[in-house]
Structure 1
């Protein structure tokens, strides 16, 4: 503490510092190596009358009695010295003072002087030291001890007594057992070893404080010598540096741990290091860290002291809500959970409670570690044998450990999220590449006007281009088929104008193969006035080939279906051969009989003209009847389908009934026709629809061929079920349909008949569906089955009456 007399208090250090020196019970001043005053406190200036503005070059020896001037030199040679001297008051009178001179470490040759008033001589081991000096030591906030030359404790100031927890009234010899004298003797030995040097010995050691804890002290030992240079004892000034050592240790550990975080060390390693630091600084504390998964549903083991295995077993990978323990509650509520007495808590039977009690731990505090977004990222668990509030120092350690843990966990979570996103991007990219390869679709982004392009891997493959080739429109144009160049150039011109594109063109690859390409592009944004396109190119060659093959197959299928329908008609007519022969032979027989009768009537004399005329009319009638039957047969056998026409459903039903009437009479089948009047017409192929109705009638006839126990009845009905839907159904009283065969009845080649081919109903359904209708079969409530179909109508009723 040096200061020139012309300097203000701020130069010395602070107003507080100068105030402390002014309040000391004595005169304080400092001198340099020449003996010139550097600083003087207010007591010195008041006693001597020295004015601050008198300058700093004044020699302080001018204030000493002339007989005491020789004391100035020895005061600047060795360590601290105590002696008596006379100082001049402002009125010129001299008074005796006990002077203490101590070289100032780190300030060259400067010396700090302290003068206390001389009350009486004290003849002891300290020579001229008096009670005022001890009073001065008692006023200090740092601990001060005085030792004899034989290293016995002689004096301890108030600060020292308070630190050791001793009563001020006890004799110092009785209190010496509380001081670590063995360590102090070792310190004094270091001081003796350094005798003759200006610097004092500074040593750190541990001692038991008033609260019974072992704490670190830092002691500075100063030799005290009498006027004749003889060793009078030692002055030990010591300070409790436990907190500063802890802070320094914690700060150093923090720096190392933060370096671990910066280097990307796993959070488990960082958290374990934090646990070790807390356990080192607060030995009676058991701490543990838990992390939460990114979705905050699961615990992950971070680190723990003493209980690492047990903690891992009950928390690692477990659901946050699986057990109502303090850590789970803190994680869910984002609030600190404290249990003062686990033995009496309702959570003593939880997994965490059982582990704590098994290890003699009864106090628990679960502190949530929050992310920057306010979500729970982890838990700091503090466990103790008994409840004890954290002291300021302990709270600081816990808070700093929690803060660093939050940083580490947050960094880990960000890295995990980043890795997850990178993985998702890589997977998406891989899926995109695979999808483009599977679908033969390449993607591109293009500024056509600048010819700046980005192509996907599949784009290069489709056009058979070197992946190292710089993307350009010309590179693609070179692959375009000559016949499609005009189309390609036209679409590029439209692109220059900012119009979207969707067109198909051909390319020729390097191996000479021809491929069909569909190009699709859309404007996504503009750079200045330049449109930027994003689009796809797809190789549709195989699709084109498949479509061609499908078209050829459909044509072949239609032809086969037509052939099959023709065969079905032939087979159907074959089944009606007998009935048809009767229908044809009957009018022919009538024609022959009428012709003979007409000849006879004309041969009479006179000819019977009237009767012959009637006979001729009957001949014409029978001829027309035969002609109509033959016309129907020719239509049924014809392979050329007539054009679609308006058809009266009732009319074609009557024609089919007429063709099959004889067959039904011979098999004793009673036909009932319930044809709805004024049905609107339908549009269709007359012959094909007649074939459907005839197949349905023949199926009904065959279904009743072996029916003997009940009447054989066939009911033909038409109906208008809605404004635009007509139905025709044929119900029989035959064997019916099995429950699992209703849908199979219409499958090709499925039949329940002994000699059936299984194509009649399949052809019939196909015909109905081609007419926009639907065909189905169902069992009757009684015996037999019903086959029906529906067709869309034209909406205008036909003015005919039911038969």
Structure 2
């Protein structure tokens, strides 16, 4: 009858006693004992075959007596542990039964408990523990053993096998971690995730969907039997057509109907929230089918696109899918005869290639060319033939074609099975998919190459040392600069290439950084290959291992020699500028004093001449002479006040402030300059606010500011026609906290309103450029502000504001 199906089976054999004293009774299995009925020759052949199976099976075979004392360990176990069977004779009972000498310390307790129970009760012995390999590493094994009775119910002993499950353990752990990550991903996704039965009834929703609908969180994330009213309410909403906006119901129905035809659910609709409002969502779902193609579940996700929908209706959110794929790629296994012809291939290899057993296995010992990449076929035949002829284990890397036509790299290891005479009777080949590793290695090589090119082309000196500070790498730019190789640098030490004046500081900095494991940041001079020294900025960072120990130092030296020279030149220039500034300040002070005192001194001279005229008259006009003498005294006092004020200004002395009416100061200035105004044939108009509040200020300095600004306006109109020579002075409140004074002339205006307050800036042939600068200093000393603008028609306006009386302004 032809074989039409394959199933995975677990085959267990038991050992029976044999009456032939020439054969070790512990090593004869029940199938062999049954086969002895055929013939003694057949029995002998089966005995040998059984030995081969036990010795070369992919596991550890062993037997023990009734009390658990080991009687037999197959050669594979002894080779794995690097022990002899005599090494296990030192212990007795369950300790021997459990082979505790080669177990991981953490597993001895559980192993002894299980062994004690089985030896005492006769129950099957099943345990998982880690066994130490001869090189000291541990691997997980699953141990299974049963107690065998002869037909007379007399106990013969225990017979067991250990199967290596280390790779399975790692795979299971990776699978558990993957499932946990997937669950966390689903629960924390910024989307509403759901699962439904084939008819659309939901049987799972994530917390985000439950929160949005406001239906509670009972059972969210558990199985259908625990979902409670959360899903019940959701189903109720669906049945009542209350979950989807009424205008979108028809679209939703069409999408669901189309999903059963196309196998994909895609809907953009408005869903109702807990507050009864609707928001736009992009909902998509995919079916999961069974082997027959029937839909088992729908898996869906709904993403809130309401903001995007409102902002731009034309845009549609790209498809979002949630796929959870857990792939277990077991090792492919092929069994070959002694000549390399295929005898058996396991299911993973058949599934990978898409071939049947008959198509995969060919009588040609060179292999099936359909499986391998054309570029590998010639090499493969030669290497495989030579390796098989050497009768030793070997491995080969090649590309194997997948059923979709793609090729992936595999590492295939061949292990021979030999008979008692050492002849090879089987080859076992295990293939491991290493395509991802190959690509990673290639990417790593490419990345390393790019990194090396980057380091070599950086405009800096890159270096690396061990944790102890011994250099083990410098880039080519550094080597070229120093004119020596890494080996020469390691022999001569770093200090030999550092300027003698910087060597001690650099050594101390480097030593401190290594002791404290802190970054290095310093500057020093390195000697070039031609003997010249250049300044470098040195920065290095430590690389630590998981325990915090420094294992590497990575550093970079940046050439700052040109910067150093520029900084030195800048410092020299700044020193020169500082000296020049001091000279200019003294000149400015002298010019200021000369400018301010020249006006009252001029008045003194003029009044002296006037007194002479009045006294020389016939008869002498004593009254006018007395009045002029009063003015002379006043102008002398004014000159003294000017000197005192300028001295106080430059010494930053405290101002002498009193409660001051600015309108009164303006009237005083008007009277003071009456003669000068009349002589220039200029008319002054005033517009003084009656409600102008008093301010705390220095009367003489305020008078000086207004005099300077009025004189500036008078001088600006000297070249103007006499009928347009009008100077306006206005006072007013500026908001609630300040007063404003404006002096408006009808002159030619200002060319540069930003520079008029700078010292020594003037457009007059005889001017010194200090009046407006002093006025600005005085106003700012009173926490005020002064500025100039051009009139819309002609002339200029000089304005300043001062704070109204307060404790802060005193």
TM-score normalised by length of structure 1: 0.35
Instruction: Look at both structures and tell me which one has the larger radius of gyration over its CA atoms.
Output: 1
User: Which of the pair has the greater relative contact order for Cα pairs under 8 Å at 6+ separation?
Assistant: 1
